[in-house]
Structure 1
Amino acid sequence: MPGTGRGRDASSDVPDVSAVTGDAPAAVLLVHLSDRSVVHVNPVARQLAPQAQLPLSVDAWSDAAGLLDLDGAELSDTEHPLSKVARSEPVVGQAVSAAAGSDLGGRREPLWVVALPMADAPMLDDHALVVFLPLRDSRAARAAMDAATEQAALRDRAVLATGLSFTVADARDPEFPLVWVNPAFTATTGYTLEEVVGRNCRFLQGPGTDPAARQALHDALDAREPVTVTLLNYRKDGLAFWNQVAMSPIFGADGTLTHYVGIQTDVSGRVAADRARDEALAAERAARAEAEEARHRAEEHRARLDLLAEATHSLSGTLDVAECRRRLLQLVVPQLADWAVVLSPDDKGQIGQVTALHADPADDERFDAYLDALRSTPLRGRLQDLLLDGASARRIGGYSSPAVREVRRTWVEDESVLDLSDEMGVASVLVVPLPGRRRVDDLMVLVRTASTPEHPAPEHTDDDLGIAVDLGRRAGLLLDNARLYEEQHHIATELQRSLLPDLPEVPGLQVAARYHAGQDGNDVGGDFYELIDVPGDGIAVVIGDVAGHDVYAAAAMGHLKGLLRACAWDRTLDTPAAVLTRVDELIAALGMTTMATVSYVRLTPDGPDHWSVEHSSAGHPPLLVRCPDGSVRYLPEARGIPLGVEPSLARETLRERLPTGSLLLCYTDGLIERRGEVLNEGLDRLAGVVAAGPHEPEALCEHLLEELGDSHDDIALLAVRL
């Protein structure tokens, strides 16, 4: 900051007055020397002796202000600064305190007194100017006072060294011309008394002077009020300096404004220090703001990653499309939206399904009305492009503005939808497609409502759009997976239903069957059952398990069932073992890679009270019988290897004669096998459950699945009551 350009001399040992007094307002007195009285005071000085009625003797005014020295002693006539003024002696610096608080400070805070007779001032040649300033550093003030009073020769230089420039302007002239300045003014500015008398002090201003500070000074003078401003002034030699100007109005006995007393202090050093401090503070604040912004960005980035991670975890936790959409909305409301909808097209490219979530249940009625209107209106324009062609996402600010309203008219045919959304106070919208692998099957709309004092809701930002787009990509793929799973599930269900036929009604028999998919998630597999009305009076009962747990196993099972049916109707194959052997031969002859376990049973009435049971096995678990008396036993195993392994090996047929009322249970290994168990444990458990179960085949099948249906493998059941 440019200074005054003055060098140092012996008087430089006296501290700069700005370091002593700071920049507080000054109390100004005008003392008439002839009658030793205070004739004028400015408003700040009036605060020191508020009850004093002017004119008043200097001693009386001092008593009214309660002036004491810094040690708290009363001032004697010889030490009294006002008494010195009355004797036409300059007061180059003396510390006192006043009884009353003021704009200078609280009660008994030290005040710095400087006073000068104005022998050369027109109309004021019999007056002296007395200025009270607050002390900001009592030790520096005392050093200044000591140096100023050490010897008379230093007095004038001490006054100059303080940097206090006194000016008096004529307030009766609209131009406020200067009528007197003290030598310190000349030392500070380079202008002599003769050069400045009759001129307005604005000649010190220049191109760098702040217009706002200049206007503040002008306004205060017009309002006849005291003012203190700091502005950039210029010396006579062109050097700039920062000048603190305190102007105090002086009123005559009749209340007429007569003069303005100005106290000017060169505060270039302080302003430079303040500016350096402010720059350092600004730099620190900028660094803090940058660090805070970096932390905020890091937190936003972390929150974004957390949201995406949570989305992946939550959405991948279900293979139900509707549930996946609901979970997506729970992720974005209220983090990215006050309410949101997912629109899904139908076969005609219009809205087929609407999934929605609102953060405020109080808006449910209006929200439901909006959703009803949305479901019934065809899409077109931008929304149709997003939904059908996968156009890029879009952020729409000022949603309810007339300009945006015109654009929105191109989106739907029924404008009542737009009216309803406007009624809900929509402020901004994100429209985000949810792309799958091949096409866009869903469109997500995120809505923020207008901000209120109770609900501050800023409009969406580009960062919000970026998060929504990332989330939309992940959600689109996961929804695609869920749709694919549902399609495969539907195909599997239909295939399984086609391969597991309705059981025929057979006179004399009660029959029930069940297929239960294992906990590994496959809804279709190779387990099957059959009830075949074979030639003659017999019935063929078949239970089997093709290796594998997928659509391929189901397809192989379908081929195998066709072979079994064909062979069961071959009259030349007169035993179950012969049927299984022929099926095994056909598998090999046809080049099929199918491997399966099968139990084949032929039931034939044997008199009025018994049934003949012939059975053969291709590596299948033993058949279970519950007799009419409630006892449970396994039929002897007809040993044989699974189909598709070695067709040349001989198979055996075993025969049983069971009383009417017996129940024959055919099952696959999913009902008895558990990880970590030996087979006999599963067989014993099944026998116990059957013994305690219902007698009717339908009820027994339900009972078995309830008790033993927790298998990871598929289960097929066929219960026949003879």
Structure 2
Amino acid sequence: MQVGQKPESSRVALDVFDRAPVGVLVTRGKDHRLLYINDAFRAMAGNRPIGAPAWKALRDILGPDFPGVLGDVLTTGETVCVDEVSATVADPGGGPRERLFRVSLSGIPLPGGESGLLAVAQEATAQEVTAQEVTGRADAMPRTRDLEKELRRLQRRYRSMAWAGAHMVWVTGPDGEVREVSRGWQRISGQTLEESRGYGWLRALHPEDRERALDAWTRAVELANPVWEQVFRVAASDGAYRHIRFRAVPVYEDGAVVEWVGASADVEQEWQEERRRRLLDLAAAAATDITNLEEMCQAIAGVIVPELADACHIYLLPESSGSLPHTPIVTECAAAAVRPGLPTLPPRRKEYHPVDSGFVRAVRRRGPVHVSFPPGRPPFPCADKVTKWLAEARSHSMALLPIVVEGEVAAVVATAVCGERPPIAPDDVHLMREMLDHAHDAISKALRFRRTQRVALALQHSLLAEPPHISGLELAARYQASPTAAEIGGDWYDAFQLSCGALNVVIGDVAGHDLAAAVSMSQVRNMLRALAVDRELEPPADVLRRLNRALETLNGESTATCVLTRLERDRDGVWQLAYSVAGHPPPLLVTGDGQGRFLEDAGNPLLGLYHGRPWTSAVAPLPPHSTLLLYTDGLIERRGEDLGEGLERLRRCAEPLAREPLGRFCDELLTEMPVTGEDDVAMIALRVPSPA
């Protein structure tokens, strides 16, 4: 064969690379003999002898280590990219000189059922020199991505052209059993005519499609549909499944169906593009319509499963974990989706990932880790629960994709396939990366919001004192931040004992939900403590009156609500509650037998507003085993609803909890009350012991 001549077998399919803007060469068989090179490759590196072993024909470009790489690519099917290949080749305009190439290698099916390698090469000499002159270094990553993108585009072009001629015609009897099939069906499925007869053609379909195909075809034959059309996955001769459209029409004689004539065509590329658009739209919608981070992650996991994988878990990393890539990482699982029929893992769990795990490798590389392995035996250690799950589910392929936000890996998407499903394809890994790219801005915003909210919550808790331990009394406090607000709020609670033995319990809320509100809240809380301690025997109303005057020293626009209570025993040992309310929802008293009522006899205007009315207090006895609840309006308010409805709902929820432990009393209220999440919720509860 003459140098540069194309072999006969390549003239139909391989000539799709003739006008490619990058250098393309194709090898055949395990000895990697050169089958095809295009004009762009000749222009870069000169002509090469067709039929010669690639390592010999391309020794000056591929170097001494490439024979092993070629064998690995052909065996594993995984794409290999080498960013810088230094070679001394003839310059098109002169003698030999040192030049740089970027090369990408992947497997490719050839006519006749053979396997080969597709190599895409791009000269990088000029770009490398320019990068070094401008920045002093070569930023190779964007160029590598461009080369990978070009490789995928050329692979799709080749596959489309290779299968374009696989038009398949088949004939069945009136009962729907196949009698004749064309060579096109034999080429794509590998079945002989005898193997395809009757319903034998179903064995070439994907196992998950066989029952559906049989039901659909049987029903069409029974009803004599004028046109029957379905798309099923067919196992091609290279072992991969391709989407084939089946279309058939009945043939009539004397009013009766005598046979069916069908034609099938490969629609893999069309199906892949439609699926890609649909999944990208679903991922974008999940990120656009949802603001809560956990819900957003769950929606994205639900898009990936079962379309691209059998399981998807999304892990949130602690801050700064990306700066310590050589240490184990403890993560929080924010979302999980598993195909029905597979074992599940506990949601919202913490997981420990060893330093040599694939998880840490993905964080360290800031790029995908994609592996296939024997069922249940990954090539690297995993978290203990994940290792057990992989074995139980017989998982054999994984892809770990990191999400980078502001230079740090903030989350990792872990996917897996199990059982008879084919391994995750490189194209599907790329599609998952595209999906995450489409949702990246929304995910980044939600992650930043979550981090800011955690800082605010930590600051809020630092400003709230733990209730004191009082002999003979139970105290419990709770604070629940708004999930929709990232800044600290103005809600607070407090409890402190006076030297005379009385106990003051306080709840309050400063208007606003920002740092200024938090500062005002801290000031109001501290002033109230000082005023109450200064005159221990003063009624709560007088303390609030003096606090109202003191607020004038802050700024004229600060307003706040508050409930101040004073708890002490009378001469008979009965607990008495003196209280005063300033613009705040009234305290709720629930007796031991489950009867609830609001203490509404000491209402006053809110703090921060001047008025000439006297401030009032009231006194109420606290029966044995009764519970006093002070709370902020976030627990009861709902947009468009009268406040009385929220108060009544709180009373109904609290009464059945009268005998529950005080901590559970508070937790159950937070769980059962339909809070809007638009405001923080603070509460403090006190329980009087029984006489025994």
With normalisation by structure 2, the TM-score equals 0.44
With normalisation by structure 1, the TM-score equals 0.43
Higher relative contact order (Cα pairs below 8 Å, separated by 6+ residues): 1
